[in-house]
A and B are shown apart, each in its own frame.
Chain A
Amino acid sequence: MAIVVKIPTQLRAATGGASSASVEGGTVGEVLDALYEQFGELRERIADDGGLRRFVNVYIGGEDIRFLEGLETPVADGDEVTILPAVAGG
C-alpha cells in the first residue's frame, strides 16, 4: 500500500531535498522503517531505541499518533503521514 510521508524542512537535507516520499507499510512503524530504508540518515535523526525521539511528532491525517496506537497505528492506502518538530508553539 502506498503511503505518502511528508518530510519537514529540517529533515530535507537527509532526503536529498525531497519534501515527501511514497513508501509501503501496514503500520506507522512499518512506514517509518521503510522510510529509513530509503533515507538511512533519517533513522539517527528522529528514531530512538526503536521508538521516536521525544521532540518528534508524527501525525496521520492531522491526528497525533499518540492519540491513536502510536507506532502500531494501522495505515491504509492513501493515508498521509506527517513528521513535524514538537518544539513549536506556546
Chain B
Amino acid sequence: MPAYSRRQFLRGTLVAGAGVAAGVGFPRIITAQGKGPIKVGVLHSLSGTMAISEAPIKEVVLMAIDEINRAGGVLGRKVEPVVEDPASNWDLFAEKAKKLLLQDKVATVFGCWTSVSRKSVLPVFEKNNGLLFYPVQYEGEECSKNVIYTGATINQQATPAIDYLMSADGGSKKRFYLLGSDYVYPRTTNKILRLYLTKVKKVPESAIAEEYTPFHHQDYQTIVGKIKSFSAAGDAAVINTLNGDTNVPFFKELANQGVTADRTPTMSFSFAEVELQTLDVKPLVGHFASWNYFMSLKTPENLKWVSAWKAWAKKAGIGDKQAVTDDPMMHAYVHVKLWAEAVKRAESTEVDRVLKAIESLQVSSPVGKYKVDAQNHHTWKPVYIGKIRADGQFEVVWKTKDWVRPAPWSEVTYPGRGCDWSKGGKGSFDMVGGKRVWLSEKS
C-alpha cells in the first residue's frame, strides 16, 4: 500500500484503538456494599479561587474520619474517604458528584462550599438518591431530601447580625452597603436582607446600597471609594458577602484607603479565621463577622478540638500560622460525626434509613450539644458576633441567648412556608388555609 494510506489506516486505527482500549482500561466498577470499607466522598475545591477557604475543610473531614476509624469505624467497618478536586469549577463539581455516586458508589458525600457548587450537584444527588452533607452558611430557599445542611440559614447568621449592628452595642448603624460576589448566595441573601431592613426594621431604601463583583475580582479602588462616600454621613456598615480569595484585595484596599472599623465596620458572612490569617491584621481590627463558632471560644471541647487540629495540621504539613479553625470547619467536623452516629443508629448506610435516623440526632461539638432538627434537615445553632482582634482571632462581642431553630425559608420572603421531611413529609410546603400544600405537588 502507498505510504500515505498506510498512515491513514494507522491513524484511524489509533483513534479507534484508543477508544476500545479506553473502554477496557477503565477501572472496574466497584460496589460499596459488602464487608469491605465504607466509602465516603469528599468533594471540596483544592485548587482555584475557592481553595483558600475549602482546602482546610477537606483536611478536617479526613481528621474526623481518622478519629472514627481509630475508635473502631462504623458498623465494624473502616471508613474510606474518596477525595476529589473539583477545582472551583461548577461543571466539574457536577461531574465529580456523578463519579462519586455512580462510579465509586459512596455511601455519602461531604462537600461543597459555594451555593453555585451545591446547586450544580443537587440534581445529581436527587436523581440518584445520594446523600450530601453541606457545612457552609447559605441563603436558604432550598430544602432537599438528599442534603443535610449543617451550615447556617439566614436567620442563624445574617438577620441576627443586622439586629446587632442596629443595636446600641453594634453602633446603632442605620445605613448598609451590601457588597457581595455575583452569584446565588449573595443575591438571595441581600434580597432577604433588603426586605428585612425595609419591612421589619423600617430602614428607608435610600439607606441601602448594593454591589456585586465577579469571583476573583482584584480591583476594588472605585468600590472602596463609593463605600467611603456612602459612609461619610456616619452610621454606616458594610455587609460583606464576598467569597473566596476576592476578600483579600478588598480588605487590602479598605485598609489602604483608611476605612477603619470604628467609622465603617464591615460585617462579613463568608470571611473567617482561615481567610483572616492570610492578611495583615492590624488595619482590620474591629471589623465583624457573624458565625456559629469562633476559634476563640473557651469551651473545654473547643480547646480540645483546636489542639487536635493543630496536631493533625502539623502532620499534614500545614504551617502553624495557617492551622486555624473556623465555623465551616467545625460544622464539617461535626457532620462527619453526625453521619457516623446516624449510620450506627440506622444500622445501615442506606440513604433513606440514615435520613430517618438523623432526625433530632444530637452529638457533642466544640460549641456544645449539636442537634439536627426533627423535620427540615438543618441543624440548630448558637449565633455569635465576633470582632477582629489584633492577634488574628475573633473576640465574641455578642451572642444569642438560646440556640436558634433553623428556618430555610425566611419569614420575610415566604411567610408561612416551611419544610418537613419527617414522617412521610414531602419537603417544602406552604400553609394555605391552615393546611399544608406541598411544593412538589403544585402543578
Asked whether A and B interact, the reply is no
Residue numbers of B with Cβ under 8 A of A are none
Chain A interface (Cβ within 8 Å of chain B)?
none
